[in-house]
Amino acid sequence: MITYDFSRKVAVVTGAGGGMGLAISNLILNAGGRVVMIDLKPEPEEIAGSPDRRVYARGDLTEPGFVSETIDQGAARFGRIDYLANVAGVLRFGDDASLLDMDMAIWDQVFDTNLKSMVHTARAAVPHMRAAGGGAMVHFSSTQCLRGDPLPQDAYSTAKAGVGALSRSLAMQLAGDGIRSNAIYPGLTETPLQARWDTPDKIAEAGSWVPMGRIGTPEELAHAAVYLLSDGASYITGIDLVVDGGLLLK
Q: Which residues are catalytic?
A: 156
Q: Are 194 and 149 in contact (CB under 8 A)?
A: no
Q: Are 23 and 225 in contact (CB under 8 A)?
A: no
1, HSE (Cβ side, Cα atoms, 13 Å): 8
Helices within 112-233 (DSSP H only): 117-132, 154-174, 200-207, 218-229
Q: Are 36 and 14 in contact (CB under 8 A)?
A: no
Cα-only R_g, the chain: 17
* Burial tier of 7 (Cβ tally within 10 Å: 0-12, 13-18, 19+): exposed
- Tell me the C-alpha distance between 35 and 13, whole Å: 7
- Tell me the C-alpha distance between 86 and 141, whole Å: 9
Task: Identify the three-state secondary structure at position 30.
Answer: helix
Q: Are 22 and 10 in contact (CB under 8 A)?
A: no
**Residue 20 host element (H or E):** helix 19-30
- Tell me the C-alpha distance between 191 and 226, whole Å: 18
Task: Identify the three-state secondary structure at position 243.
Answer: strand
